[in-house]
């Protein structure tokens, strides 16, 4: 199973005057710490709300020219067993590069994988539902006819020579 994990980070920024400036510096600072090892992590402004009135607040809190900025870091974790496993992996990978920055898992979303799609197609084919396809000449053809489409056969031809080249090396 693959999961998209969103982690909230509280990034400290010093010598700033406005919330916009603090957010820009925090994103830049976080990007420098994550790159090049984790260049696949997306960095977004965090969303904060007043706990009493549910009013939207700036992602940066400024006091005495210092700021604490809420950022959301999003990454995809592959081949995990459970949601908790994905959260632990994301926190570990991101946390190793962001020293002394607190992290909190906000969201874990299970992604549909190609294997799931293939299983669904196999189930549909096993039920006896053949996919009907219309050719350029207007003829209907099913997958049960046994003829591979030109794109399928060309894909197979492309894969085999590369594999043979690897064996030769």
- pLDDT confidence band for 48 (50 / 70 / 90): confident
Domain range holding 101?
A: 2-111
- Is the predicted pLDDT of residue 137 greater than 60, yes or no? no
For residue 69, tell me if it sits in a domain. yes
Q: Cβ(59)–Cβ(48) under 8 Å?
A: yes
- pLDDT confidence band for 114 (50 / 70 / 90): low
Q: Cβ(75)–Cβ(3) under 8 Å?
A: no
For residue 129, tell me if it sits in a domain. no
For residue 19, tell me if it sits in a domain. yes
What's the total number of domains in the chain?
1
Mean pLDDT (the chain, rounded): 78
For residue 122, tell me if it sits in a domain. no
For residue 138, tell me if it sits in a domain. no
For the beta carbon of residue 16, count every other beta carbon within 10 angstroms.
19
**Considering the entire predicted model, what is its pTM?**
0.64
How far apart are the two ends of the chain, measured CA to CA in Å?
34
CATH of the domain at 86: 3.30.70
């Amino acid at each position: 199973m693959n999961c998209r994990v969103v982690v909230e980070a509280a990034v400290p920024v010093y010598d700033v005057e406005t919330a916009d400036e603090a957010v820009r510096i925090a994103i830049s600072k976080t990007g420098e710490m994550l790159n090049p090892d984790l260049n696949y992590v997306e960095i977004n402004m965090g969303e904060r709300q007043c706990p009493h009135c549910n009013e939207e607040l700036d992602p940066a809190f400024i006091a005495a020219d210092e700021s604490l900025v809420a950022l959301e870091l999003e990454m995809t974790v592959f081949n995990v067993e459970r949601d908790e496993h994905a959260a632990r992996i994301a926190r570990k990978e991101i946390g190793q590069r962001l020293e002394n920055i607190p992290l909190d898992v906000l969201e874990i979303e299970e992604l549909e994988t190609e294997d799931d799609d293939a299983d669904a197609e196999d189930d549909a084919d096993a039920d006896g539902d053949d996919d009907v396809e219309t050719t350029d000449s207007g003829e209907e053809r099913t997958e049960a006819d046994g003829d591979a489409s030109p794109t399928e056969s060309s894909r197979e031809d492309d894969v085999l020579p590369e594999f043979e080249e690897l064996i030769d090396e």
